[in-house]
Amino acid sequence: MKNKVIGILIALVVIIGVMASQVMAASISASAQEVNKGEEIKVTVSFEETPYVDLELTYDANSFEYVKGSATSDLPSLTVNDTVAGSVKISAADATKTTAYITYTFVAKENTDAADFVASGLNTINGEGLDVDTVSVKVVEPTVDPEPEDPTPVDPENPDVDVPSDVTDNTQVGDKVDANAPKVDEDGNVITKLPQTGITVFQIAGVVAIVVIAGALAVRKLRK
């Protein structure tokens, strides 16, 4: 009797060991832990090499949308059932090829702190099992960079010509600029010197007046 009990215990240990060896390692992962709203993300279920796989992936249909036809693996063909929002069922088999993954593509729809992708019911030719495995992804609003300001003033009538920052026009009204108006410097003083000679406008006027008077006197002497 004692030997019989020992034999049963040994048989149970062997059976448990065989069952444990048949359950291979499997996992689920995402290409990013955080994604912007409107962007794509890839979710991959990985397992031991197998020519046959059966798997269901469930997801939050309010936060993500499955991209139809995006499921891929090393097997030449996959049978996909995605008719129910929030679930994608995959099955595939091939006599000459094997695969060790199934990859899906999703598009982020709405912001969320944590949307779960859950792989379950994994079945392979190796007896691999995956009751439940989960990965969470956060969806955020994309950031928008502010447009830089243009520090260079522009003449409204000549938009292709930059206005020097140290010269302003004190006769500007609205969007109109008087090209004949006197120019002032950055301190508000009227610019009276010519750019190259340094001679003031008043000096030029004086010289012109002298020339005119001298000419008038010369004409009067000739008449006498």
Residue 87 dihedral angles phi and psi, to the nearest 5° = -150, 135
> What whole-number distance in Å separates Cα of residue 106 and Cα of residue 10?
49
Domain total of the chain: 3
Are 110 and 198 in the same domain? Answer: no
Are 18 and 99 in the same domain? Answer: yes
Domain end (from 140, 169, 204): 140
Residue 31 lies in a domain: yes
Are 63 and 119 in the same domain? Answer: yes
Sign of CA dihedral 206, 208, 209, 210: positive
Are 107 and 155 in the same domain? Answer: no
Residue 187 lies in a domain: no
Rounded to an integer, the average pLDDT of 126-138 is 80
Are 18 and 80 in the same domain? Answer: yes
Are 125 and 162 in the same domain? Answer: no
Are 90 and 196 in the same domain? Answer: no
Question: Residue 44 is part of a domain; what is its CATH number?
Answer: 2.60.40.680
Are 24 and 127 in the same domain? Answer: yes
- Which residue segment(s) compose the domain that 31 sits in? 2-140
Residue 71 lies in a domain: yes
Residue 194: which H helix or E strand, with range?
none
Of 24-28, 57-61, 69-73, least confident by mean pLDDT is: 24-28
Are 85 and 43 in the same domain? Answer: yes
Q: Do 89 and 104 form a contact (C-beta atoms < 8 A)? A: no
**156: nearest Cα among 182, 180, 176, 183:** 176
The amino acid at 46: S
Sign of CA dihedral 84, 27, 131, 73: positive
What's the token pair of residue 103? 């990859």
> What whole-number distance in Å separates Cα of residue 53 and Cα of residue 65?
23
The pLDDT score that the predictor gives to residue 20 is: 41
pTM over 0.75: no
List the 99-108 sheet strands across, edge first: 27-30, 40-50, 99-108, 64-66
Express each pLDDT in 67-109 by its tens digit: 999 999 999 889 999 999 999 999 999 999 999 999 999 999 9
Residue 13 lies in a domain: yes
DSSP string, 22-42: HS---EEEES-SEEETT-EEE
> What whole-number distance in Å separates Cα of residue 44 and Cα of residue 31?
8
Residue 171 lies in a domain: yes
User: Of 162 and 7, which is predicted with more confidence?
Assistant: 162
Are 63 and 160 in the same domain? Answer: no
User: Of 147 and 175, which is predicted with more confidence?
Assistant: 147
Are 124 and 202 in the same domain? Answer: no
Rounded to an integer, the average pLDDT of 50-74 is 96
Residue 186 lies in a domain: no
Residue 93 lies in a domain: yes
